Structure 1
């Protein structure tokens, strides 16, 4: 039972008991009860109940708004704070809740930044080990296989050539994984070139046609902002290849008066009723680190649109 209903029923019980005592008890206006007096008491009782309900509704309205805010608050979807209203403890409670949200969002942003930074460092380390150790080992194996195949009998040579191709394919896959873990092209050639290489590498083997539209003159961005844009695009394209069953993908990056916009749309089966997974939550957390906003929308018909808006592009240091 809500607080409003409990208080109202309590007050109504007291008022009804008082009215009953006046009508039926020894303390009455007249004995026996006169009809006009009963009507007057009944009307007064109704008026008191209505006034009591109205006053409680007005007094408890800030608490109802606070309750709605508590049930809908999501730190991955920052929204407006409930307005501080009411008197005394009610206003203090709402103000305390807003302060708590500010603290939680700041703490989450700080902890997320540390976690994502550690994740990027670990990706860098793994990519370096794949390239320097496993990659060089497989390269040496390829050279040895070639040397053995050149001096092997014809029948064995054919089998060794097949082993060579399998090893070469494994080496290419390891290099591709290393590039996804650490996008060196992003640091060396810039964001648009890195996005172009990413779309080609991610979708070429899946039979998906990609249309790219990148503004020629983008504002200068910090490395952190570029990395967030790249990772959001990477996760979006990965989800499309794995889950969307799409045939066409459009990716655009441009700037206008409201900020920088990355849009990725596909003609796949859409979001449906599926809950957001760890990949999308990770995208939202990355967006919050640079003050950006990520939205996912179901397109008319089929397909999904991922929109990342960076309201204030930062200059690189």
Structure 2
């Protein structure tokens, strides 16, 4: 009788043990299945991440190419406009005053050298040379004075930017917008007078450039205007242009809190 009881207990124990092992094996198989699914999802995510990284790299390269193209366009356009306008003035001076023509040629040579330096700096992805050496207001004033000297156009500068502090990107945008606007006014509009106003008002920095040039019936944005908009879009800024009598450009950049002191 005792032997039969021991046998029953042994059988019960084995049944329980086998059941536990079966449950453990089922749990292991389930976990293995979940692990395989997780590995599959991870593989898909890795492929997606690689694709995203490649796309991000392509976009970064495109942005950098566009930035360099914009910098070189702004620099060369400004320098060549000054050289062309100066050379035209020099031709008219040759017979009237050779001495004045010589001085004009010296200014043209200086503008050409500075333009070449700017191109080199742009290729090396650096800021405009003037902003490396001086404050924004001084750099813009120097830009306007040099353009007036080489082009013989009257350029008036009105700065209302006391106690203004901008980031390097914002300074670059302001400088390049003024540079491109004056260049376009002289090159395309044949303007003889250009007015530049930069003023901080109601938490926004406004840049307005007007000229007395020939204007145009229909404004078709070229390389310069497109890149102005691109610069401003990166700063959450806006650009408006109109052409009635002459040409007017107005750009605005939002100012961060604390950058203007009353």
Could you say which TM-score interval applies, normalised by the shorter chain? 0.5 to 0.7
Which residue number corresponds to residue 214 of structure 1? Answer: 159
Deviation at 1:268, TM superposition (A): 1.0
Deviation at 1:298, TM superposition (A): 2.2
In the TM superposition, what are the counterparts of 1:29-178 in structure 2 within 5 Å? 113-119=63-69, 172-178=110-116
Which residue number corresponds to residue 293 of structure 1? Answer: 238
Q: Secondary structure at the match of 1:115?
A: helix
* 1:91-125 deviation per Cα after TM superposition (whole angstroms, max 9, x unaligned): xxxxxxxxxxxxxxxxxx967743344447x85xx
Unaligned runs of 5+ in 1: 1-108, 128-164
Equivalent residues of 1:265, 1:304 under 8 A apart: yes
Q: Secondary structure at the match of 1:244?
A: coil
* 1:233 correspondence with 2:178: yes
Deviation at 1:304, TM superposition (A): 1.2
* 1:163-186 deviation per Cα after TM superposition (whole angstroms, max 9, x unaligned): xx9x97785343231355453221
Deviation at 1:187, TM superposition (A): 2.2
Count of residue pairs brought into register by the alignment: 170
- TM-score, normalisation: structure 1: 0.46
Equivalent residues of 2:240, 2:249 under 8 A apart: yes
* 1:219-276 deviation per Cα after TM superposition (whole angstroms, max 9, x unaligned): 2100011001111111111111101121211101110114000111111111322522
* 1:268 correspondence with 2:213: yes
RMSD of aligned Cα (Å): 3.6
Which residue number corresponds to residue 97 of structure 2? Answer: none
1:281 & 1:215 partners in 2: Cα distance? 26
Equivalent residues of 2:239, 2:251 under 8 A apart: yes
* 1:298-317 deviation per Cα after TM superposition (whole angstroms, max 9, x unaligned): 24xx111111100234889x
Unaligned runs of 5+ in 2: 1-58, 77-102, 122-127
Which residue number corresponds to residue 145 of structure 2? Answer: 200
Q: Secondary structure at the match of 2:214?
A: coil
* 1:116-171 deviation per Cα after TM superposition (whole angstroms, max 9, x unaligned): 44447x85xx99xxxxxxxxxxxxxxxxxxxxxxxxxxxxxxxxxxxxx9x97785
Higher relative contact order (CA 8 A, sep 6+): 2
Distance 1:193 1:238, change over 3 A: same
